[in-house]
Chain A
Amino acid sequence: MIRRPLRPLARVLSARAEGSDPDLIEAEERAARLAQRHREERRKAETRLMLLGAVFILGFTAVGARMTLLSAAVPVEPRGSAGSEPIHAQRADIVDRDGAVLATNIVTASLYAQPRDLIDPANAARQLAGIFPDLDAGDLTRKFTDGRKFLWIKRTISPEQRQRVHDIGEPGLLFGPREVRLYPNGAVAAHILGGAGFGREGVGAAEIVGTAGVERQMDSRLRDPAEVDTPLRLSIDLDAQVALEEVLAKGMADMNARGAVGILMEADTGQIRALASLPDFDPNLRPAPPVSGDPADSPLFNRAAQGRYELGSAFKPLTAALAIERGEVTPHTMIDTKGPMKWGRYTIHDFHDYGDRLSVEDILVHSSNIGAARLAIGSGAAAQKAFLGRVGMLAPVPVELSEAARTTPMLPRNWSDLSTMTIGFGHGIAVTPLHLATAYAALANGGLLVHPSILASDWRPGEADRVISARTSAETREMLRQVVARGTANIADIPGYDVAGKTGTADKPLPQGGYARDKTISTFASFFPADHPEYVLVVSLDEPVTIINKTAFRTAGLTAVPVAAKAIERLAPVLGLRPEYPPADPGRTADGGKSPERAASLYTLAGND
């Protein structure tokens, strides 16, 4: 740049010549210079401002664009932090005590349609009806064309069906993944497992919810993501369960019964090794609950946990144990059994006249109602109620089956002396077979009340759970051994296993009141071996009848006991229980018990029990 002087010589000279002040020229030049500098600075500042503005605009644009992108984008989980394994199943398996699978999940597909995407709805409907026989082509066509946007066609389909639907080549038919519950053993242990169905459903997944049994009771445990990899271990022994179900099914057919219950429980711990209620069902195809008729006739009805029955003489050991525990009698005390016994308007009969007096042991052996009533009234209503409460007869069984928790025993409204006497021989109180098994476990194991449980655990009852003394328990065991050795249950006298137990035959109550004359519940509650019981077995038959010499018998001694005997013979070896023969007994054969004496005793058996 050419520097302009403040006092240009030419102008100063000419100004001097003209006589004006040359300083003015200098001031002029200075002003011009200042103006020039101002102009430059302004331009610079403007540029700077523009630049700053541009930066801000760029910055805001970037932030805005990022926000737009974020709000429009599909959310993605941060991948780096996911260190755990992916969840592969949404519900834990259920296994038996040895780890055999009872319930597991498999992945199948569900089939749904988006009718707007269907190219040829009529053809699709026709082909679908060909693949699924339960679908109707006309109905499907109507649903495809009535303007709806979404339609479930099948909740679960098999891989073969999926391939065939795929082969239709219709873009509007879509599959969603579905996990379904599979019970590989079919109907085995159906009443324990219950079943599972779908809860909330979406296209991508559906939650599995337990509908009954242990599936429902333990639903939150089975669905807990933290425990989904640990199978739920039951106390059930699959081999024993299968054996029990087989024997019961055969017994039910032989005895023409409507239903059958079998409960096998560890006497010391209350762990249920097998529990069967027939008729049963396949939990894979759980039938819909009945909407009419008696729910107890449905195969879904769990007779072991839900069925409340007056179990009859099977209660007598409780009456006797209470009397012995209170020190009122010993097993050899003679009790007046002269009948019929009158109490107010009510008369108590025995089936046969057993004479005027029987020992407490013989009251059980011959199953005398009068004797049991006398024992019960001797103990009194309050003591009886308290004792039954202690052995768990007055509350639902605390077993982990959803049905059991809803089943409260039916008790007399007014626990009068008459109720006390009838309850003494098992009438006027209705409990489930599980209640009876629990009480028998306490009678047998030395007097400790167990928590009946379907889940495998190491729990054992302690002294705090004592309901009767060890001595009373031992005496009760010996008396019940005599019932099998020489009383109403002698068919169950299996060599080697020292079975002890008590029969019970109760007339079924009619819906309109009163009792049926030809419909009974026959029960045999037992434990074995008698002197150190390992297992309690309760077998109960609903309306059994067996024909011997053209005469129909319904008593437990001829119906429930033979079935229970078969069950023990079959179950004990499966459970690894070794038969123990008395050293002097040479008769180590299967028909050791079938003496001529037994045939002769049939008539006696058919009597009271």
Chain B
Amino acid sequence: MRTVLYLSAVVLLAVCATWAYRVNYATQDALNRAADLRADIAEEREALGVLKAEWAYLNRPDRLRALVTANAEALGLVDLTPEQFGEVSEVAFPPPPPPEAEGAETGAAPPAGPAPAAAHRRAALATNGAIE
């Protein structure tokens, strides 16, 4: 009887020791992985910081100014001026859709109306200004 008790104790000890050994190493693996991931995150954040700094640097006002000046013909951007504020009433309403096209082409955009040229230009300028 006593022998059985001893034997089972020894077996239990061996099982526990094996379990502890495995858990120990599994924990260390997990810790290593977490440390690696943290290092990766730190690296990514650093890269993000560099990208952010670079984005800000590429968007610095004097560079944008130089680019706008160099591409003035293509872009036509000008400084925002008080004249560029328009009124909603200055924008011509699109004419009512022609009566024969009712319901058939609801998805199609209404054709541009005969807006006064001046108001049209002002609206365009205002848009440009807002972008700049």
User: Do A and B come from the same complex?
Assistant: yes
Which residues of A pack against B, CB within 8 Å?
A: 79-80, 82, 85-86, 88-89, 100-101, 104-107, 182, 184-186, 188, 238, 242-243, 494-497, 569-570, 572-574, 578-579, 588-590
In the complex, the 6 A-B pairs of residues with the closest C-beta atoms, listed nearest first: A184-B56, A101-B56, A573-B80, A184-B57, A88-B45, A242-B61
- New A-B contacts (8) at CB < 8 Å, excluding given A86-B39, A89-B49, A570-B81: A79-B35, A86-B42, A88-B45, A106-B49, A107-B46, A573-B84, A574-B80, A579-B85
Cβ distance A320 to chain B, nearest Cβ, rounded Å: 30
CA distance A82 to B42 in the complex (A): 14
- Residues on A with C-beta less than 8 A from B56 are 100-101, 104, 184-185
- Residues on A with C-beta less than 8 A from B105 are none
CA distance A85 to B45 in the complex (A): 11
Which residues of B pack against A, CB within 8 Å?
A: 27, 31, 34-35, 38-39, 41-42, 45-46, 49-50, 52-53, 55-57, 59-62, 79-85, 129
Contact A579-B49, Cβ < 8 Å, known A79-B31, A85-B38, A100-B56: no
Say whether B42 contacts A186, CB under 8 Å. no
Say whether A85 contacts B41, CB under 8 Å. yes
Say whether A590 contacts B38, CB under 8 Å. no
Q: What number of residue pairs across chains A and B have CB atoms under 8 A from each other? A: 78
- Residues on B with C-beta less than 8 A from A242 are 61
**SS class of chain B's interface: helix, strand, loop or mixed?**
helix
- Residues on A with C-beta less than 8 A from B83 are 588-590
**A83 to B, closest residue via Cβ:** B34
- Residues on B with C-beta less than 8 A from A82 are 38
Cβ distance B59 to chain A, nearest Cβ, rounded Å: 8
- Residues on A with C-beta less than 8 A from B84 are 573
Say whether A573 contacts B61, CB under 8 Å. no
Cβ distance B55 to chain A, nearest Cβ, rounded Å: 8
**SS class of chain A's interface: helix, strand, loop or mixed?**
loop
Say whether B52 contacts A105, CB under 8 Å. no
- Residues on A with C-beta less than 8 A from B82 are 494-497, 569, 572-573, 579
CA distance A262 to B17 in the complex (A): 77
Contact A188-B31, Cβ < 8 Å, known A106-B49, A573-B82: no
- Residues on B with C-beta less than 8 A from A186 are 60, 62
Say whether B81 contacts A86, CB under 8 Å. no
- Residues on A with C-beta less than 8 A from B57 are 182, 184
Among B41, B45, B52, B80, the most chain A Cβ lie within 10 Å of the Cβ of B80
CA distance A182 to B58 in the complex (A): 13
- Offer 20 A-B interface pairs, CB within 8 angstroms, sorted by A: A80-B27, A82-B38, A86-B38, A88-B46, A89-B49, A100-B59, A104-B53, A106-B49, A107-B49, A184-B60, A186-B60, A188-B60, A243-B79, A494-B82, A495-B82, A497-B82, A569-B82, A570-B80, A573-B129, A588-B83
